[in-house]
Amino acid sequence: MEALQKAYEARNKKLNKIEKVKALKSPKEAYEKLEKYAQNGYASIPDEDKSYFLKCFGIYDRPATPERFMLKLRIPGGYMNADQAQVIGECAEEFGQDYIDLTTRAQCELRYLRIEDLPIIIKRLEAVGIDAYQTGVDNIRGIMADPFDDKAFDNVLPSHHILLKMQEIFLHNHEWISALPRKFNTAITGNISNRCNVFCHDASFVLAQKDGVYGYNMYLGGKVGVVGKNTNIFLKNEEEVLAAFSSIIDIFKRFGFRDNRNKNRLHFLIEAVGIQEIAAAIRENAGIEFASAGETMTKMDYYEPDQGKVQLRDGSFGVHVVVPSGIFQGSSMMEAARLAHTYGNGDIRFDMEQSFYIMGVTNVEELLREPYFAEYKSLNTPYFNHLIACAGTQHCPFGVIENKNDAIAMSNYLDEKAPLEAGRVRMYWSACVKGCGIHGLGNIGFEGCKAKINGINGSGVNIYLGGKLAGEGLLKGILSLKVLHWNMQSIMLSH
C-alpha cells in the first residue's frame, strides 16, 4: 500500500472545488429536504444541492430545460419486469412530457420533471422496486451485465445474482454515498458473447477458465474508449468476486485522487502506480491470495444474428425492439409492458445500444404483427439496428451538436442513398468529447465538435472508423455536418 499512499499524497495537496462542496454537508441532508423543496418550489433549492448533492440520488437540474429535472433510474443489469415498466411509463407520461431516454448503460432517464412532482414520482417507483439512488456524480453507478445472462445459449456462469449482491455492499449505504473521488462503473458477465461492453469499465469481471475451473478474470481502469487492464487475478466463485469488488472500491475510496476531476478516475490511479501494485493491494486489502488470471473466454466483440430475435435456452425468444437513438416515450413503455405480459414471460431487458428485448416470447410472428412494431421495428435496417446517440445539446450542457436527430437523419439518408439488405453497421454518436455515445467503439463513430469549413464556423464531427467493443476506432478527420452526408455515402458505397 506504500506506493498508493505516496501517489495519493503527491496528487492531493490541493482539492478540487467539488471536494470542497462535498464538505458542506452530507448528501442525506439534501435528500431529506426534498419534500420541503417540493412544497416551496425550485427557488428554494440551494445551489450546492442543484449542482451536486441531489445528483447523488439521480436528480439532475438541467439548465437546457429551466426549472426541470432529469431522474436517472437504476435498473440492475438492465433487468426490468412489466409491472416496473408500466409505472416508469406512467410517471413519464403524467409528469415528464411522455419522454424517456434509454442509455448506453442499459438504464433509462425521465426528463422535464418539476421539483413539485419528484417526491410523488420517487414513491411510485420505489413501490415497484425501482429507485435512483447513487446514479449520479461520485458514486458506484448501475452495474452492467449480459441482458440474457443464463437465458442465453452461450452462458457459462449465471451472474445476475452476483450483481445484486455487489449492489448490496454499497446501495442505500450512506457510508458509500458520494464517498468516491469520481464515478465508478462496473460490469460482470459469465457469457461467451460480449453484449455489455464489459471491458470498458472501472472494474470488470469477465468469464474465464483456469485449470478446468470457470470463474472471472478481473480487469480494471477502463472508461469510455479505453479497455481495462488485466489484473492477473482469477476469481473462482461468488465469494471471491464480492471480496475483490469490495477491496477495489475501498482502495479507490481511500487512495483515489481528489485534485483534478478530469484525471481522478481509477484509470489514473493505475497509471500512477501500475497495475501490478494495484493487484497486490487488492490481495492485501481483501486478505485473500487470489489465483493468477485464467484464459478470458468472453470474446472481445460479439455477433448476434440480425433477425430481430434471439432464441433462448428454454426455446422461447427475446424479441428485439429497436429504439432509434434511445428516444422513447412513457406511453410506449406502457405498451411494452402490455406486450411483455401478453406475449412473453413479463420480463424486459435493456441492452447497451439503447434498445431492449421482450423476453420469453413463444409466438414471435404474432407479436411482430402488433402495430407497435411499425414504429419500433424488431428488424429494421443495418443502419438502425445498432444505432447509438447520447443526449446532445437538447438535454446535455456539454453537447456540441444536437446528435440524436442527426443520427436518425444520417441513418434515413443512408437507407435511401446506400441501402443494405443485410449486414451490421454500428453507428455510435457522441455529442462531445466526453464520449457518452461510446463513439470510439462503433464501426463508424461520430464525435461532435466545432468546425470551420470554408471560413465559416459551424458544427461538425470527428469521424472514427473500425471500432470494436475492445478498443477505439481510427480518427479520420473533421467534417462539417452540412457535407457529412455526402462523405458518409461514399464511405458506405466503397465499403
Model confidence pLDDT, tens digit, residues 281-336: 999 999 999 999 999 999 866 656 567 899 999 999 999 999 999 999 999 999 99
Could you tell me if 184 and 259 lie in one domain?
Answer: yes
Closest to 293 measured CA to CA, from 353, 343, 233: 233
Confidence band, pLDDT 50/70/90 cuts, at residue 378: confident
pLDDT of the residue at 397: 85
**32-38, Cβ contacts within 8 angstroms, sequence gap of 24 or more:** 34/59, 34/118, 34/119, 34/122, 35/119, 37/115, 38/115, 38/116, 38/117, 38/118, 38/119
The CA distance from 28 to 380, in Å, is 45
Q: Is residue 30 part of a domain?
A: no
pLDDT of the residue at 88: 98
Cell of 4: 498508493
Please give the average per-residue pLDDT across 247-265, as a whole number.
97
Cell of 15: 482539492
Could you tell me if 167 and 291 lie in one domain?
Answer: yes
Cell of 141: 453507478
Neighbours of 445 (CB within 10 A): 30
Could you tell me if 254 and 170 lie in one domain?
Answer: yes
pLDDT of the residue at 473: 57
Q: Express as a percent the part of the chain with pLDDT over 90.
A: 79
Question: Which CATH number characterizes residue 359's domain?
Answer: 3.90.480.20
Quick check: 264 pLDDT over 70?
A: yes
pLDDT of the residue at 495: 43
Please give the average per-residue pLDDT across 399-415, as a whole number.
92
pLDDT digits (tens, 9 = 90+) for 100-158: 999 999 999 999 999 999 999 999 999 999 999 999 999 999 999 999 999 999 999 99
Quick check: 440 pLDDT over 90?
A: no
End residue of a domain, out of 351, 380, 409: 380
Please give the average per-residue pLDDT across 249-273, as a whole number.
97
Q: Express as a percent the part of the chain with pLDDT over 70.
A: 93
pLDDT of the residue at 348: 98
Q: Is residue 285 part of a domain?
A: yes
Could you tell me if 367 and 257 lie in one domain?
Answer: no
Could you tell me if 321 and 361 lie in one domain?
Answer: yes
**Residue 341: helix, strand or coil by DSSP?**
helix
End residue of a domain, out of 350, 380, 410: 380
Could you tell me if 153 and 123 lie in one domain?
Answer: no
Q: Is residue 87 part of a domain?
A: yes
Could you tell me if 417 and 322 lie in one domain?
Answer: no
End residue of a domain, out of 329, 358, 380: 380
pLDDT of the residue at 306: 67
Could you tell me if 217 and 284 lie in one domain?
Answer: yes
Average pLDDT along the chain: 92
> What's at 291, amino acid-wise?
A
Strand residue runs (E) in 375-418: 387-389
**Residue 54: helix, strand or coil by DSSP?**
helix
**Residue 464: helix, strand or coil by DSSP?**
strand
3-class SS letters over 159-186: CHHHHHHHHHHHCCCCCCCCCCCCCECE
Cα 36 to its chain centre, rounded Å, is 32
Q: What is the largest CA-CA distance in the chain?
A: 64
Q: Is residue 233 part of a domain?
A: yes
Residue whose entry in the numeric block shows the C-alpha cell 476506432 = 473
pLDDT digits (tens, 9 = 90+) for 44-68: 999 999 999 999 999 999 888 889 9
Could you tell me if 407 and 468 lie in one domain?
Answer: yes
The CA distance from 360 to 328, in Å, is 22
Sequence-distant (≥ 6) Cβ neighbours of residue 192 within 8 angstroms: 154, 155, 156, 207, 297, 298, 299
pLDDT of the residue at 151: 97
Could you tell me if 194 and 331 lie in one domain?
Answer: no
Quick check: 14 pLDDT over 50?
A: yes
pLDDT digits (tens, 9 = 90+) for 186-221: 999 999 999 999 999 999 999 999 999 999 999 999
Could you tell me if 228 and 88 lie in one domain?
Answer: no
Asked if 358 and 344 count as a contact pair (C-beta separation under 8 A), the reply is yes
pLDDT of the residue at 73: 98
The residue with greater pLDDT, 270 or 443, is 270
Quick check: 489 pLDDT over 80?
A: no
The CA distance from 409 to 100, in Å, is 20
Residue 128 is classified by DSSP as T
Q: Strand order in 108-113's β-sheet? A: 59-61, 69-72, 108-113, 99-102, 327-329
Please give the average per-residue pLDDT across 251-271, as a whole number.
97
pLDDT of the residue at 299: 83
Question: What range defines the domain where residue 199 resides?
Answer: 144-296
Domain count, the chain: 3
Cell of 177: 454515498
The CA distance from 317 to 360, in Å, is 5
How far from each other are the two terminal CA atoms of the chain, in whole angstroms? 51
pLDDT digits (tens, 9 = 90+) for 475-488: 556 655 555 544 54
Question: Which CATH number characterizes residue 454's domain?
Answer: 3.30.413.10
Could you tell me if 153 and 291 lie in one domain?
Answer: yes
